Amino acid sequence: MGFKISKAQETIQYTVEPAILAEAVQDTLRRIGSVQRVSRETGIIEGKVSEGFLMAAPKIQIRITRTGEFTELSVQTHRDEGLATSGGAEKGMVTFLKRLGEDPRLSEKASGGW
């Protein structure tokens, strides 16, 4: 257990169907970490973003919801930090969103956020 917890949160809207976004999210998580739980009923996907051999992986929770003409992606990350670490949640968020943005299924489909 760390001495403090870092947290990050971001919401982005996409013009794709929720199922397509969910597939892209899971594929991205498998490439950069792991998928731990998927609930189609609630639209929540949970996993971890790996940051190296010795670093604790930030935990990530993603909620996918349909809001009118958009599919909304809400991402939250958190990580226990030690004395010599900081910003792990933010780094995990940046890593995840960067790799998700490289997915061809989502190319030019984001309407806000990063």
CB 22 within 8 A of CB 114: no
For residues 42 and 114, give the distance between their C-alpha atoms in angstroms, rounded to a whole number. 25
- CATH code for the domain defined by 4-106: 3.30.530.20
Q: Give the per-residue pLDDT at 114.
A: 44
Q: What pLDDT score was predicted for residue 17?
A: 96
Mean pLDDT per 10-residue interval, the chain, length 114 residues: 79 95 97 95 94 72 95 91 69 92 89 56
pLDDT at 2: 53
